[in-house]
Amino acid sequence: MKLRKHMTVVAIAITIIAPTGTAFATTSESQAGTQATGTSTTVPAPRSRAEEAAFRASMKAWQKATRAWMNGRAAAMKAQREAMSTAAASLKTAMEAATTKEARRAAMESFKSARESAKAAYDIAIAALGDRPSRPTR
């Protein structure tokens, strides 16, 4: 019973003193709370108008080049999809009309060659586009 009374008194004392924070904080802890942490007070060097204008011009050129690259890539992908759908449609028609194994084999070989030529055309178009333009830096 005595232990419970002592614990209650200690808990009440802590709740009364704790909101001020001075009873439990040491000097190093109280000073650390007022200091700025991780902030930089240095100001970056101002950029000249010529540098900014040159950067803006290079950004616009990059945006234009990237847009052209993406449009070219999309066109190559669309052409490949169209070639593949045409090849698939012709395969389906040939398979429906085929009555022998040789005719089916010939239809499948025709489809495979159409697929390979579509992939080759896509690879040539992507190679002609080159690498994606790199973004300019300041």
Task: Please give the mean pLDDT across all residues of the chain.
Answer: 84
**Confidence (pTM):** 0.58
Radius of gyration of the chain (CA): 37
Of the pLDDT bands very low, low, confident and very high (cuts 50, 70, 90), residue 34 is low
Q: Is the pLDDT assigned to residue 15 strictly greater than 90?
A: no
How far, in Å, CA of 90 to CA of 77, rounded?
20
- Name residue, tokens 């650390």: 32
Residue 80 contacts residue 122 (beta carbons within 8 Å): yes
Q: At what angle do helices 49-97 and 101-129 cross, to 10 degrees?
A: 170
pLDDT of residue 25: 53
Of 107, 126, 127, whose CA–CA distance to 115 is shortest? 107
